[in-house]
């Protein structure tokens, strides 16, 4: 692809506060997106290759396509009618920028946990367990779509507008439906931006030889082209015309010496190829968001012989109703499947469903920069170079304690059906894919739902007191600090 000399120098950055309007002095604040230093350093450690030039090139491309936190833009290729409605600039600008004058929704409600860049590194993130969602991997847990697919707008609306049960991400009373739609656009914008950044780095690692001087893009030429492109193209065109007119009769007299204009023409061609490649990747990521509607998991009706209540209240009513015996039989069958060798739900959730089984695993956001880079999450000393660049100390992904009756992705039977059949993206929770006649059949998913529902010890009550942590950084920090550990599990999961 592209060439130049690379240098080893990825500077460590402190854990910066990214919040405005929170009473921390009068110094003017300029919001800036953080480059993904962790993703680049991961490859530098894993492959022993210099990554600073690649990261700078990637940042240059991304900033040019997506603008700044105060003045967001979209890649030109996404202006095509195929992407109409995915992200609208009017809504995007309403969510972006500083709080005030019809703008700044994200910075007002979300930044203290999710950070300016959407990397889950807001100023409150360190006290939350698990950490707030990092949008840049393009992974989202709570959705109606199949595993590996993006969430729909309705999925994001539900999470943002209603909050997530049992977490500090509570419903914000002042948030209107119009505000929520604007925040949806901004989350998609941050996710596309971050995923493109990661993908450019990934592709460059696999395709380029950085030690030989390969580059993702010649950003220095790119800066020149912003003001000189027309003149440069004319110069190259005149040179090509003169060369064609001279034919083979003219020789430079030095076959090894490259004509400066010829070299410039080659650089321009490589530059345009680089930018076209970035545009193609951006289109692919945008299409994955548009395809979410086609990836919704249809939930079948349960078999007639298996009554499946839609809530714990309905479950209690059914226990004392005409279908009590059928429900009891379903619960017992669900228990057998839950603890059986095929489904093996008890391996993580424990025999009694209290989440006291295997609990030493990690989510994909942690595995991405640890185990997938050949590093053990428990080896904190080896992780120091990555944590110095923004990675958060690894925390275990804890299995759900069903006795609490708290379901982050929704407690309806359709929600639970999708959680079991598709698993939970980004988490150790796998999809139900192995069915064995007589031991674990697809209809047993309904029995599992009934058994899980039966484990609840009391009606679910709010576990995190108002106000929401998203309303103000100070309120969020105080609230999370005073919340029992079990109650802050899966905080800020949007």
Per-residue pLDDT reduced to its tens digit, 95-121: 999 998 899 999 999 999 999 999 999
| Residues 197-211 pLDDT 10s | 999 999 999 999 998
Res 488 pLDDT > 80: no
Question: How many CA atoms, within 13 angstroms, populate the side-chain half-sphere of residue 263?
Answer: 7
Burial label, 32 (beta-carbon count in 10 A; 0-12, 13-18, 19+): middle
Element (H, E) at 215: strand 214-215
Q: Which residues contact 346 (CB under 8 A, 6 or more apart)?
A: 338, 339, 353, 357
On the question of a cis peptide bond just before residue 467, with omega within 30 degrees of 0, the verdict is: yes
- Which of the four pLDDT bands, split at 50, 70 and 90, describes residue 151? very high
What pLDDT score was predicted for residue 129?
A: 83
What pLDDT score was predicted for residue 484?
A: 35
- The mean pLDDT value of the chain amounts to 87
Q: In this structure, are residues 337 and 441 in contact, taking their beta carbons and an 8 Å threshold?
A: no
What is the phi/psi pair of residue 259, to 5°? -65, 130
Query: What is the average per-residue pLDDT within 433-453?
Result: 96
Q: In this structure, are residues 357 and 347 in contact, taking their beta carbons and an 8 Å threshold?
A: yes
Res 494 pLDDT > 50: no
> Strand, coil or helix: what is 460?
coil
Total number of residues shown for the chain: 494
Q: Cβ of 61: how many Cβ atoms within 10 Å?
A: 25
Within the chain, how many helices (H) and strands (E) appear? 17, 2
Q: What is the DSSP string of 318-375?
A: HHTSTTHHHHHHHHHHHHHHHTSTTT-THHHH-TTSSS-S------HHHHTTTGGGT-
What letter does residue 428 receive in the DSSP assignment? Answer: S
Provide the token pair at 462: 């709010």
Q: In this structure, are residues 33 and 69 in contact, taking their beta carbons and an 8 Å threshold?
A: yes
What pLDDT score was predicted for residue 305?
A: 97
């Amino acid at each position: 692809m592209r060439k130049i000399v690379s240098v080893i120098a990825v500077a460590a950055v402190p854990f910066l506060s990214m919040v405005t309007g929170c009473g921390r002095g009068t110094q003017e604040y300029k919001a800036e997106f953080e480059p993904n230093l962790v993703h680049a350093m991961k490859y530098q450690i894993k492959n022993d290759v210099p990554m600073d030039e690649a990261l700078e090139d990637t940042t240059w491309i991304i900033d040019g396509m997506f603008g700044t936190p105060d003045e967001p833009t979209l890649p030109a290729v996404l202006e095509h009618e195929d992407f109409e409605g995915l992200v609208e600039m009017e809504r995007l600008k309403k969510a972006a920028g500083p709080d005030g004058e019809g703008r700044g929704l994200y910075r007002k409600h979300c930044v203290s946990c999710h950070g300016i860049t959407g990397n889950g590194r807001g100023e409150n993130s360190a006290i939350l367990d698990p950490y707030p969602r990092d949008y840049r991997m393009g992974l989202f847990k709570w959705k109606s779509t199949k595993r590996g697919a993006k969430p729909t707008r309705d999925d994001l609306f539900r999470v943002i507008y209603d909050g997530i049960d049992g977490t500090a991400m509570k419903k914000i009373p002042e948030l209107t439906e119009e505000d929520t739609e604007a925040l949806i656009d901004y989350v998609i914008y941050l996710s596309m931006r971050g995923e493109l950044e990661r993908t450019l780095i990934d592709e460059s690692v696999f395709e380029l030889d950085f030690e030989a001087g390969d580059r993702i893009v010649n950003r220095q030429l790119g800066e020149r082209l912003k003001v000189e492109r027309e003149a440069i193209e004319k110069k190259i065109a005149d040179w090509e015309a003169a060369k064609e007119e001279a034919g083979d009769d003219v020789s430079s007299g030095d076959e090894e010496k490259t004509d400066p204009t010829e070299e410039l023409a080659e650089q321009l061609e490589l530059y345009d190829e680089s930018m076209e490649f970035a545009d193609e990747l951006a289109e692919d990521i945008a299409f994955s968001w548009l395809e979410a509607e086609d990836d919704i998991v249809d939930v079948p009706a349960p078999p007639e012989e298996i009554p499946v209540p839609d809530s714990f209240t309905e479950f209690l009513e059914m226990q004392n109703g005409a279908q009590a015996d059928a429900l009891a039989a379903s619960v017992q069958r669900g228990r057998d499947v839950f603890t059986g060798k095929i489904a093996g739900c008890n391996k993580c959730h424990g025999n009694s469903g209290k989440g006291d089984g295997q609990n030493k695993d990690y989510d994909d956001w942690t595995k991405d920069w640890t185990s997938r880079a050949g590093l053990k999450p428990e080896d904190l000393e080896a992780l120091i170079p990555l944590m110095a660049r923004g990675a958060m100390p690894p925390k275990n992904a804890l299995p759900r304690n069903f006795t609490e009756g708290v379901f982050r992705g929704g407690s309806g039977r359709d929600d639970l059906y999708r959680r079991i059949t598709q698993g939970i993206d980004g988490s150790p929770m796998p999809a139900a894919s192995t069915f064995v006649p007589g031991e674990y059949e697809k209809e047993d998913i309904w029995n599992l739902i009934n058994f899980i529902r039966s484990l609840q010890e009391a009606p679910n009550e709010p576990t995190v007191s108002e106000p929401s942590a998203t309303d103000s950084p100070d309120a969020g920090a105080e609230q999370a600090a005073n919340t029992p550990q079990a109650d802050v599990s899966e905080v800020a999961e949007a």
